[in-house]
Structure 1
Amino acid sequence: MSSFPRAARLLAVLALAGSGAALPSVAEAVPTSAVAAATGATAVQPRVVPGTVLVPAASVQRRRAAIVFDKNYRRPFHSRVIWRSCTRTGAKAPWRLAEEVSWRAGSGTGPRGTDGCVRNEGWLPHGDYTFVQQDRRDGNFIDGRVFQLENKRCRNGTLRQSLFIHSEQTVTNGQCRDAPGDQRCRWEVPAYNDYRSAGCIKMSPGDLAALTRRFHRYYDAGVRYPAGVVKVRVTG
């Protein structure tokens, strides 16, 4: 568990309240005292609608972050995932880069692996994504730590679904027993190219854990934050 105060990791609800725009659904309501502690705003009692959070208009968003997938067209399985965290001291202050770290990643498979409009084969379409992070996903094919991205339509309108940043590991983020063939719950590079993915973004278990630790310094699992607070950006 991060040593940072919980309030500091719940800045997700701050950005849109002052404009009057509706906030995206989140997993939990944030106590007004937590918001005030994170921002220095005067604590008030906002009206809370189920599934959303309203915060004081005086709140100032002081941190934002992005997980960037930077495509490598010549070597798709040597693309990069980049964590960027920025801070500012006040509403009119400029954003400044606080941390940037990158890791190897891959996406796509087969001869059409670099076409973002090909379902279950091409890598992710360009653009910004909201997401929900999970620490112990129990799925049919993808388990353990994941960042589950929103659906996205590519340039020709094809809807891409079931988009994740993930690895090959067990529900508890371990490695299953070695066995003949390519195991979906065991990272086997270089014997097998486990950076290959049917449309998702793949990282090694250790690199995915490092990314997740940085995310959890400020943000919680199970919450869909506004893209203005933290997002995945696919570019290249």
Structure 2
Amino acid sequence: MSALGLRTRLAPLAVATALVGGLVATTTATAPEAHAAGGSYYLYFKKNTSNPINSKLYLMKSVANAKDKVVAKYRAGSGNGSQNECALSRGWLPGTNTKNGKYKIEFHRTNFDGIINGYVIKLSDKKCSKGTKRTELFVHSEMKPNGRQGTIESERWDGTRDYYSNGCIKLKPADIKNLFAKAKRYGWPKTLYVVK
């Protein structure tokens, strides 16, 4: 086969590879873009390195061959202000990219009764960058097990300082209720991604 014939056959393959490569780059980009299969929903937590309690939690819809869509966006905090993801009960949620920041959503409840109460989304355990295992990770707020505001501090939202947590992701009560309503309407996410 001549060099010209070989180039003629390989050129379409190179173009197709470039197109597929471009598509892959688009569907694996960060912030908040594709992280899930077409048509599904996921949560996306964007850490704010200058102020961890002013981070963002997104409910996202993946869209095949296009940029994913933001369905809802909420202010969220994680940790007590520490950016040490290995600090138990203090540091923010481990993960800085889509590989080490991927969590399985284990369950969601509106009447949880435990260390935290009410509306909760339970996340899988995660090892931080130094290997420390972080457990009891949730997306939650401050409320009573029935979802109402209580009289004790841990069951009552008082304002900005309540975005601090023991390493979970924390939303104000109205926002977590809105997230639950949207997830029920559109489809519950099975995954949460954490990036900074």
TM-score, with length taken from structure 1: 0.61
Q: Name the structure 2 match of 1:72.
A: 48
| 3-state SS, counterpart of residue 171 of structure 1 | coil
Provide the rounded CA distance (Å) in 2 between the counterparts of 1:230 and 1:84: 11
CA RMSD of aligned residues (A): 1.8
8 Å CA contact 1:86, 1:99 repeated in 2:
no
Identify the residue that residue 33 of structure 1 maps to in structure 2. Answer: none
Q: What's 1:123 paired with?
A: 92
AA aligned opposite 1:133:
H
Asked if the contact 1:176–1:185 (Cα under 8 Å) also holds between the matched residues in 2, the reply is yes
**1:205 counterpart = 2:181:** no
More helix by share: 2
Q: Which residue of 1 aligns with 2:71?
A: 100
1:232 aligns with 2:196: no
Q: Which residue of 2 aligns with 1:136?
A: 111
- Letter of the 1:187 partner, please give it: W
The Cα offsets for residues 123-158 of structure 1, whole Å up to 9 and x where unpaired, read as 11111101111121011x200111110000111111
Secondary structure of the residue aligned to 1:211 is helix
Residue of structure 2 in register with 1:196 after alignment: 164
- Structure 2: distance between partners of 1:98 and 1:200: 25
Matched, 1:157 2:131: yes
Unmatched runs of 5 consecutive residues or more in structure 2: 1-36, 96-100
What letter is aligned with 1:138?
A: D
What letter matches 1:207 in structure 2?
A: D
Instruction: Choose from 146, 166, 184 the match for 2:154.
Output: 184
1:119 partner letter:
L
* C-alpha contact (below 8 Å) 1:71/1:235 kept by paired residues: yes
Q: Tell me, in whole angstroms, the C-alpha distance in 1 between the residues paired with 2:62 and 2:47.
A: 22
Identity %: 32
What amino acid does structure 2 have at the position aligned with 1:186? R
Deviation at 1:62, TM superposition (A): 5.2
- Cα 1:219/1:136, change in 2 over 3 Å: farther
Structure number, greater radius of gyration: 2
Native 8 Å contact 2:41 2:187 kept in 1? no
Work out the CA distance in 2 between the residues paired with 1:85 and 1:176. Answer: 34
1:208 is displaced (CA, Å) by: 0.7
8 A Cα contact 1:71 1:80, kept in partner: yes
Alignment counterpart, residue 173 of structure 1, candidates 147, 165, 179: 147
Q: Which range moved further: 211-220 or 62-71?
A: 211-220
- Unmatched segments (≥5 aa) in structure 1: 1-60, 89-93, 221-228
The within-5 A match list for 1:43-58 is none
Q: CA deviation at 1:168?
A: 0.1
